[in-house]
Structure 1
Amino acid sequence: MTALLILVMIAVPSACFAWLLRGLDPLGRAMVGVAAALCLLILVPQTMLIVRAWSPTGGLVAVGAICLLLAAAAWWRRPAAGAEAAEPVARHEDEDWIFDE
């Protein structure tokens, strides 16, 4: 049961962070999402300990609230229905300046 709880506690914030990062490739989104989730899961209890408000239930509620805020921000930033995604303009870097004398 504990392993399942740990998996859920890492997966939910990871998905919320990854949903917020649309510009990265899927592997990059997954890696950043997991790293951000681990940071969140470390910083919430530390903050709660500093303010002397630690409880496991309170930590779960705090992480859940932060995930809800992240999901709301990602939903709010989503493209409008029917709008086409803007194609990134390919830039060709001119590196000739390196060899100028």
Structure 2
Amino acid sequence: MGATAGCAGALLALLDLSSPLRGPLVLFFLLAAPGFALAPWLRGLDVRGRAVACASGAVVVNLFVAQAMLALHVWSVRGGVAAVGGVGALVFLSALARRRRHRTPSGGTP
């Protein structure tokens, strides 16, 4: 349900469609995408600590993207949504690659 809402918000922003749900869904995407992407990196924390760290990390990613786009004079809503989605995808894929690299064969020893 949350992934669908986030994807809908990103699509509404990227396609520049007007809807009364555009604002809340884009906000949800901007907070949820980086937060969920950071979750695999924080497996050692308890649930509450992981939630706080993921929320804080999502805010940091959003602020970093906004600051970089403003410094380079390329700010746009569509570009910001795409950049946050891209950073989130890179963080998530790096966690999957790390997990795959550290996995040992089922019959061997580490």
Q: TM-score range by the shorter chain?
A: 0.7 to 0.9
C-alpha RMSD of the superposition: 1.7
Identity %: 34
Counterpart Cα distance in 2 of 1:38 and 1:82: 37
Unaligned 5+ segments in structure 2 are 1-20
How far 1:48 sits from its partner (Å)?
0.5
What TM-score do the two structures reach when normalised by structure 1?
0.73
Change (3 A) 1:81 1:6: farther
Report the alpha carbon displacement of residue 18 of structure 1 after superposing the two structures with TM: 1.5
Deviations 1:6-50 (A, max 9, x none): 112101111111122111112111110000101111121111011
What TM-score does the superposition give when structure 2 sets the normalisation length?
A: 0.68
5+ long unaligned stretches in structure 1:
84-101
Counterparts of 1:42 and 1:64 in 2: how far apart (Å)? Answer: 14
Q: How many residues align?
A: 83
Q: Identify the residue that residue 36 of structure 2 maps to in structure 1.
A: 15
Q: d(CA) in 2 for partners of 1:16 and 1:39?
A: 13
Per-residue displacement from partner, 1:59-89 (whole Å, max 9, x unpaired)? Answer: 1111111111101111112252776xxxxxx
Partner of 1:34: 55
The answer to whether structure 1 residue 60 and structure 2 residue 70 are counterparts is: no
Give SS of 2:28's match.
Answer: helix
Larger radius of gyration: 1
Q: Distance in 1 between matches of 2:97 and 2:54?
A: 19
